[in-house]
Each structure stands twice: as C-alpha cells, then as structure tokens.
Amino acid sequence: MANEQKNRQKSDVNPIMVQQHLSGASYPMSKQDMINKAQENNASQEILDTLHQLPDQEYKSPVDVSREVGKLK
C-alpha cells in the first residue's frame, strides 16, 4: 500500500494544466496516447510525470482525465 501511495503522489499539476497540454486530442484515447499528445505539445516533465501516474485505461473525454488527475494525492 505504501508503494501504491508513492506511485500516486500529489503534484502541483492541476487538471487545467494537463488539459492545456492535451490540446488537439481526439477522444477516446489511451493513457499512452495522452502521454504522446502531451509530448507533441511540449509538456513539461512534471505534466508527463502526472500522466504516467494515471490509471492505464481508456479516457472517453477531458472530464475523465481531469477526474483522475484530481484523485492524485
């Protein structure tokens, strides 16, 4: 459990910051697709680290992404 908490640490990144780096994304998309899109949009390492912490699932909308980013503690 401690390891799981370590992997989902709260960062200073908020859902709005993440969405700014997913500009032009087409949903649904996988976690890896989001990471790739963020890299294309020159996301900072902090944004990429946050995306890596999200569950490996399909995200149907920006709301799904924002919800999961908000859960990071």
Distance CA 30, CA 37 (A): 11
What pLDDT is stored for residue 11 in this prediction? Answer: 63
Q: One-letter amino acid identity for 13? A: V
List the one residue out of 3, 16, 6, 24 whose CA is nearest residue 47.
16
Query: Could you list the pLDDT tens digit for every one of the 73 residues in the chain?
Result: 344 434 445 568 999 999 999 999 999 999 999 999 999 999 999 999 999 999 999 999 999 999 999 998 6
Nearest to 22 by CA among 59, 62, 50: 62
Q: Residue 59 is part of which domain span?
A: 2-71
Q: Which pLDDT value is given to residue 44?
A: 96
Res 6: pLDDT:
43
Domain count, the chain: 1
Q: What is the pTM of this model?
A: 0.81
**Bridge partners, residue 29, by sequence:** 59
Coil/strand/helix, residue 36: helix
